[in-house]
Amino acid sequence: MRGIINLVLGILALFNIGYKLMNCPLCEDRIFGFAIPGMLYLAIWAFFAVTCLYSFFKQRKTA
């Protein structure tokens, strides 16, 4: 079950990255009320996506 949650969150993070790239990759965004540059926003979501997907594939490999 945990692996499926990681997969879904990873895919949602990838969709968020794609949406940001299609609209305005350099525009400021907010995370928890703090304004951050667009590239940092993308980097945070990319890190989140890679972490979730890595965890999913690691669990899948060992199972």
Element (H, E) at 21: helix 2-23
Distance CA 9, CA 3 (A): 10
Where does the pLDDT of residue 44 fall: very low under 50, low under 70, confident under 90, or very high at 90 and above?
very high
What pTM did the predictor assign? 0.88
Q: Say if residue 63's pLDDT is above 70.
A: no
pLDDT digits (tens, 9 = 90+) for 9-27: 999 999 999 999 999 989 9
Maximum distance among all alpha carbons in the chain?
A: 42
Mean pLDDT value across residues 42-59: 95
Whether residue 49 has pLDDT greater than 80: yes
Strands (E), 2-50: 29-31, 34-36
